[in-house]
Amino acid sequence: DFTPSMSQYIYSGIVTGATQYRFRLELFDEMSPTPEVPVYSQSVDSPNNYVTLNQFTGLLPSTTYVVTVSVELFGEFGPYGKDCAVTTPAFAAKATPAMDLGFEATIYPNPFTTNFTLAVETSSQTDFGIKVFDMVGRLVDQRTVSVSEMKKGILGDQYPSGVYNVIITQDEVVKTLRVVKR
């Protein structure tokens, strides 16, 4: 377990003949009804045997994540190797007015079968950034929407069945929600 800076390299062992290294960063919640299912999972592919935390999105400060690495040999990725715990640094807090509490976001219905609504409450008029990742860490959807468009924020109709992490940002405030499509 170690705490690198956001730009410090996190290395894996060198594998002779490897053409890519896939670094998977996951966060598990032991208090969840399904503690074996990560609440955050994102992968970054690199031709090098190292990665930085800056390459991952939606990380929480002072939080311990599990890193595993898979190596591509002969055009196929193998199984993930031994895990390693990495704790994110406590990010420097940005001064914000005392009345600015960020925003609240909820998803319903969850789980969903066709699509879901992303409901937000905010006092800011700044646009929202929305990124949706599948549990392998692939970006499935990305968009920027205004506060008025967010009132009718319906997503998910094009997604295959699975578990998704929805990352919403506004004014440097980040919320991560998990949603399941049946």
Q: What is the mean pLDDT of each run of 10 residues along the chain (182 residues)?
A: 80 93 93 87 92 89 94 95 91 44 81 90 86 87 88 84 89 83 92
- Tell me the per-residue pLDDT of 88-114, one tens digit each, with 9 for 90 and over: 988 644 434 434 456 788 888 989 999
Q: What is the pTM of this model?
A: 0.51
The label of the residue with tokens 């074996």 reads: 36
Strands 20-27 and 40-46: antiparallel
pLDDT at 100: 45
Indicate the DSSP class of residue 2. B
Q: Where do the domains of the chain lie?
A: 10-87, 103-181
Select from 3.30.450.20, 2.60.40.1930, 1.10.760.10, 3.60.20.10 the CATH code of 103-181. Answer: 2.60.40.1930
Nearest one of 128, 109, 119 to 182, comparing CA atoms:
109
Select from 2.60.40, 2.40.30, 1.20.58, 1.25.40 the CATH code of 10-87. Answer: 2.60.40
